[in-house]
Structure 1
């Protein structure tokens, strides 16, 4: 899908924005550097000897352009009864010593934090972008999931093994999508076919995907900042289904062993469904039949009313959390949006909880007991992940708000057209401005409904605080 890009030109606003972002980084409630002990440990750490040699398998990675912390690599091929999918995950459990300096600092962070001018990694760069990352043309230890799929894309068998592998291609979303659109042969040739089958499997499970447009702050080479806003490409959604398939397999292993950590989300209640139905009716895109996931998958991304519908649907995707267990399976084990039990197990370089999932799954797959270090610390994970998730959300919102204020500052005193995407009270609404691509809150006339185009005047901005004020 075409993307909107808004550019902050070098100016007084740009200088003020740079100072605001620097202050934001300084105020992060998380360590921003690693201790000498953690750095030294990362430089010297070695993973256990792999049991399997898969260096001849031409794995490939698929990530945002410029990424160096490569958690996953895949290899897809046809089999006599369907497909075989190999999904390699960075062997972070092998590199990180339980109770060591890297482990201790990772628990303080919870996840990698992404800023406009870089990131604050979960692990020292020597691991996250070096020795543990599945970079191309270098041998790496990895935890490799091997899936057998039937002709309909359903998993008929899977296993997890520690293996030595080597990625042959480092692909990015945009160029890979262009490659697929041209019909080029290569490592992605089957991704669309398998991805579409997995999407159909999701539909059969009653799962739902909320593919809201991405809104990301990026720093240009000249030091200025942009906001890029775009819908996920088809290739990103297909790739995501490989990760979802792996997470469901990880949950199955841990539930079978009665020890582990799941990512859960409750089903929306009838009140939430009724509210969403009324909202879709008001938007002229009523949800009248079928499951809500089927309705959301059928929305036309080119339709200007799709964004307001997706924003309204966000209320159905609430309450996600983590549940741990050891010896007894909990009562609530489903991730409702996926329509199955699910675990985070594919991003251990960037997310703390995945190391526990992978370590437990590897032990279970070998017929061993779950590692004692993982069992003894399971109950601490939900709080650590909740805290880091809240920190990441605040940081992302604060960064966007400051860049949006800088983008809008030259328009103070002028009137712009905007689309109402969500009501927030009788006379307040979330609005979407097309150029610059900014989402904001504004006062609107009584009776305004989502999807309406309104004229709003920009009253003031405060770049340092990330504040903007619009009036009808």
Structure 2
């Protein structure tokens, strides 16, 4: 029997086996569902919740999304900007130590599969009472961040509020509206803020390898592979989330209590290795340019750029979560972002956000951090690390399965590919059509080169495909 939310594609071939092999939950225990239903029928009231329902917030999410964590409104304010960012107030529905809380700690985050997700919270909350659905009054944690003319934050206010989103948009729709010169007023200033924040990110040393991402879509004949598009709106919207996460990190580090997303800076040896890689790829690295400046200036369509992006991911290893209470942590920054950062913008889908948000609410209001939050801080890094690992395995298994289904009838066929990493007698390559990230056997691979590879074997059951390099003519 298929789990709730599970969708079988008409052409057949789904992901039940992936769910079974990875022991993914196929529903919620009865006590969790009962607690969720009860809290939805009689939600707790907060006397100090601000009425912000007149603020014309909008959401921007993938098409069809129902678990809407964030709603935004961006406007000019004097010489700078004012960003309103409403985040679903999941904590008001979750009793500390209750059935929902215990189950969320077991799960860590929502897992996404092509045929339906495995949610962190029961759908009556995640897709209903807690979700910032359009036209519905919802409890939220409302961040208001004022910036100067360069989009640098100069003021931050965070409080509980009631909000009402006026529209639910997707990325392509918002992009089309900007391209046509008819943006929604609530996001008309988003391009200015987004571009300025992108410039600041490079100045901070933020690293963003723009490698093509794989995406699974439902086509008329079955599940298909595609390159995941990322338009300007996607990047600008992400900058609003990063702005908020960095503000949250500053609040927590100054207070000496909280949980950060951290990544140690790459050492000189790793940067030197990347510099040698750039030279081998014949990519000019101007004197005085940082890694961030170099990557930001590359053309992502060029094969040598893709190879260097792949190499630069070696500088982004070791990300984790750092909890602290009284003793400042040794590492407070995230090298990929170029500064302190915390997860607070996706509490419907990620466990740690609920706790970090409560810290920020308490600190900014001058109240003690709740005991149930402080008690949980020490265990959050391990819980989130385990769920991140599982999420990665789920994504990889689904991609491997669709790659095998897609290529099953094409053994012996040849494909164009770009060499991302070359090793002895094998290489990591990106097959261009269909977009498959895989290994290929053979000699003479050169990073950044375009090559032809032949599909030699497909094992659908084990979700494996094998390629070899075709010798140059």
Alignment TM class, shorter chain as reference: over 0.9
CA RMSD of aligned residues (A): 1.6
Provide Cα deviations, 1:32-59, integer angstroms capped at 9, x if missing partner: 3101111121122224325211111100
Could you say if the C-alpha distance between residues 361 and 223 of structure 1 is closer, same or farther in structure 2, counting changes exceeding 3 Å? farther
Q: CA deviation at 1:375?
A: 0.4
Structure 1 segments of 4+ aligned residues over 3 angstroms from their partners: none
Distance 1:323 1:414 in 2: 48
Q: 1:176-195 counterparts in 2 under 5 A?
A: 176-186=174-184, 187-195=186-194
Alpha-carbon separation, structure 1, partners of 2:254 and 2:464 = 50
In 2, Cα distance between equivalents of 1:211 and 1:72: 24
Q: CA deviation at 1:316?
A: 1.1
Tell me, yes or no, if structure 1 residue 209 matches structure 2 residue 208: yes
Larger CA deviation: 195-204 vs 26-35: 26-35
Give deviations 1:252-280, integer Å, cap 9, x for gaps: 11112211101100111112112211222
Q: In the aligned structure 1, how far is the partner of 2:138 from the partner of 2:443?
A: 60
TM-score normalised by structure 1 residue count: 0.93
2:463 corresponds to 1:469 = no
Do the aligned residues in 1 keep the contact of 2:214 with 2:436 (CA within 8 Å)?
Answer: no
Moved more, 72-81 or 101-110: 72-81
Q: Which runs of 5+ in 1 are unaligned?
A: 1-8
CA distance in 2, matches of 1:294, 1:274: 15
Matched with 1:439 is 437
More off after superposition, 185-194 vs 150-159: 185-194
Q: Post-superposition shift, 1:321?
A: 0.5
Q: How many residues align?
A: 455
Aligned counterpart, 1:298: 297
SS of match in other structure, 2:201 = helix
Distance apart, 1:231 and its partner CA: 4.3
SS in 1 for 2:369: coil
How far off is 1:160 after superposition? 0.3
Contact 2:87/2:141 (CA < 8 Å) preserved in 1? yes
Q: 1:363 matched to which residue of 2?
A: 362
Q: Secondary structure at the match of 1:169?
A: strand
For 1:111-162, what per-residue CA distance to the aligned partner results, in whole angstroms no more than 9, with x for missing partners? Answer: 0001121100000001111100001011011000001111111100101010
Check 1:264–1:351 CA distance in 2 against 1; reply closer, same or farther (3 A cut).
same
Q: Which has the higher contact order (CA 8 A, sep 6+)?
A: 1
Where 1:151 maps in the other structure, the secondary structure is coil
* Superposed displacement of residue 304, structure 1: 3.5
Closer/same/farther in 2, CA of residues 286 and 408 from structure 1, 3 Å limit: farther
- CA contact under 8 A between 1:116 and 1:218: conserved in structure 2? yes
Instruction: Give me the whole-angstrom Cα distance separating, in 2, the residues matched to 1:361 and 1:170.
Output: 27
Q: Check the 8 A contact 1:431/1:440 in 2, yes or no.
A: yes
Mapped partners of 1:224, 1:167: distance in 2: 35
Deviation at 1:414, TM superposition (A): 2.4
Q: Does 1:66 align with 2:64?
A: yes
CA distance in 2, matches of 1:256, 1:352: 23
